[in-house]
């Protein structure tokens, strides 16, 4: 190899080494810059997520309060409805009791009449038997 070619190769090697160092430095700066941007973005996103989380917690708490109020209102309505039904059932049961009492009183009176009729029949039979016994 001649001197000129050797110097050209040496010059190209030197230039490649210089470009390589320059590229490494550029890549290092870009990497550091990207890491910084990623870190800033991470902090920003964490802040936004925290704010969203706080908002969602507040919204859920508000919804919970609203649902509790609705459930309490429904409970009060159901209690009132059940109390009304209870009053209605009591009235129906009282009416039934009164009707059954009247019916029972009528049936008892019928049985008394039947007993009286039987007693009169027995008395009449007893009197006839006695009369027949004496006549003999």
Q: For residue 133, what pLDDT is reported?
A: 84
Q: Does the pLDDT of residue 3 top 90, yes or no? A: no
CA angle 44, 45, 50 (to 5 degrees): 100
Q: For residue 4, what pLDDT is reported?
A: 87
Q: For residue 121, what pLDDT is reported?
A: 94
- Interval 11-21 mean pLDDT: 91
CA-CA-CA-CA torsion sign (124, 126, 132, 134): negative
Give the end-to-end CA distance of the chain in Å, rounded to a whole number: 181
Query: Residue 8 has which token pair?
Result: 């050209």
Q: For residue 73, what pLDDT is reported?
A: 96
Please state the pTM of the whole predicted model. 0.43
CA distance 96 to 132: 53
Q: For residue 45, what pLDDT is reported?
A: 95
- Interval 86-107 mean pLDDT: 96
């Amino acid at each position: 190899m001649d001197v000129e070619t050797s110097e050209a190769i040496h010059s190209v090697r030197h230039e490649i080494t210089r470009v390589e160092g320059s590229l490494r430095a550029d890549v290092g700066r870009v990497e550091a810059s990207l890491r910084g941007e990623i870190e800033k973005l991470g902090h920003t996103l964490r802040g936004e997520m925290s704010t969203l989380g706080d908002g969602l917690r507040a919204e859920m708490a508000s919804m919970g309060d609203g649902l509790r109020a609705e459930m309490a209102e429904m409970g009060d309505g159901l209690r009132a409805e059940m109390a009304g039904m209870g009053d209605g059932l009591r009235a129906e049961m009282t009416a039934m009791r009164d009707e059954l009492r009247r019916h029972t009183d009528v049936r008892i009176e019928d049985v008394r009449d039947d007993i009286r009729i039987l007693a009169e029949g027995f008395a009449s039979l007893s009197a006839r038997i006695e009369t027949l016994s004496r006549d003999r």
